[in-house]
Amino acid sequence: MGQEDNQFASLRLRFAITAQFRYCEVGGDVNTETLRFWAWVTPLKFSVWMTLLFILMASSFGIGATENGVNQSVMFFLGPAKVLSNLFTVVAIYFRQTCGEATKLKWVIHMGMIVILSVYETYFTSMVVVPLRVERNPSFVSLLKTGYKIAFSRMSTNSSVDISQDAYLDRFNHDFEKLGIAGWIRNATYFHENRNGAHPDEFLSNRTLKVMTDMVVEPIDKKRALVLQEKDNSATNIKCRFAPEIFLEKHSYELAYVSVRVEVLYLLEAIREFGFLEIWNSNFDNVAMDRDRRRNSSAEAAVEFYMLSRQHWNPRCGRVAACS
């Protein structure tokens, strides 16, 4: 027993560390959320639409004929009301595809379909239909091809060395090869050098630049980073987001290396198994974000009070009340 009580085990705490490129869109490009429906028919050819109309009418006629007889089905499905109904369906789909993305007609059709599908599915099948909301988030390669540049700080002390030879790019070699861009990305046209040591946020908020910055994203802080980003996006005319690709996935860092008793090791494993660490981190993040929110509210209140006092301050008499 005494020998078992003195057993120790080594514990190495390692955390994954990854990087993602962050970019921002300013002004008119900030509305990036759309509703996506998969039921639209393509391509936009006359024969396709006539075939669609024929199939609508033929399928309705065939189903009705098997249940109610041919004569009654002919009178109903070939009547003016049913033909106009099928024709309107085809015309609605056609206009939905041919009209621009920013037209009112698109949203009228969208909302109409949402209401019809929601009522039908909820009433007859007890299911609620929610259309898929899609956010336009181009890939890293697409951003490069549309004019975005990577902001970087030169690691070489010799400024005459070409960017393609700088050590900054060496850590991303594996990721560039995996994306298939290692052959052409080492070009100065895809990079914006940070010569003055400015903070990356200064590049992201610059309206004249289209810049991406690599940011370290630790899993333990990723949720808080995304929440803070959503808060910033809702308060400004700039929408920032991360490119979907994750870089440096195989990298990690060692937080601690300790020797502990076996019982303590079992306790730490139980804490990890039951998610206590995640609960603690979540509560810590919530408290930190609430503190930031209250600090911002206090700062905004102080600015409002200052602006209000300036409006009513009379410099001639040195007081808020108006001079007689």
* DSSP annotation string for 171-206: GGHHHHHHHT-TTTS-SGGGEEE-SS---HHHHHT-
- The domains of the chain are located at 16-32+137-242, 35-135, 275-324
Whats the size of the chain, residue-wise? 324
Q: What is the pLDDT of residues 120-139, one digit of tens each?
A: 555 555 544 455 555 667 88
Enter the pTM of the model. Answer: 0.47
Task: Give pLDDT, residue 248.
Answer: 77
Closest Cα partner for 75 from 61, 59, 90? 61
With a cut of 50, list the residues of the chain below it in pLDDT: 1-4, 29-30, 34-43, 127-129, 317-324
Domain 16-32+137-242 has CATH 3.40.190: yes
Task: Give pLDDT, residue 38.
Answer: 40
Task: Give pLDDT, residue 200.
Answer: 72
Q: What is the pLDDT of residues 27-47, one digit of tens each?
A: 654 455 544 444 344 445 666
